[in-house]
Amino acid sequence: MSKIEKAKIINLPLSKEDVLNLHTGDFVLINGVIVTGRDKIHEYLFKKTKEEIKLKYDLKGSIIYHCGPIVKKSKEGYSVISAGPTTSMRMEMYEHALISRYGIRGIMGKGGMGEKTHKSMIEYGCVYLNTIGGAATYLAERVDKVLDVWMLEEFGMVEA
């Protein structure tokens, strides 16, 4: 049986129970809205309260993907050209607070997280999903649709 055939399918938003049913080494397929975010977005969310930020989507139960996608804009919207992971440790100083404040249940990226984030993940029920290295185009092809680009002018295409 292949990894795809053995894969666990997870549907977003995730519950704590969903997270607790995942184990190290599980191959997962994800259905739902995934939020991308890098350094600037993490810092912004860290410095603001939930009440100060107007998000179109509730982050509770969400997965945040440490990714700076390359996208192409057309009159139909955005298409993702490349969606490779960025190093998750760069967000270590912020991630623990985002997990507790916004109810994030999953983090995708490469390289793992540090101790502070790990403690928050255990406390609040959050999972780290290590993405496939060197597969930026492959991952981009798995994106069905870009629903929104948040704060494009403030952060730029890679960070928004």
Q: Which residues contact 50 (CB under 8 A, 6 or more apart)?
A: 101, 102
Question: What is the rounded CA–CA span in Å between residue 90 and residue 86?
Answer: 9
| Helical spans, DSSP H, in 30-157 | 39-47, 92-102, 115-124, 136-141, 152-155
Note if 23 is an active site residue: no
Supply φ then ψ for residue 35, to 5 degrees. Answer: -100, 130
Catalytic residue, chosen from 42, 66, 96, 118, is: 42
Task: Give catalytic residue positions.
Answer: 42
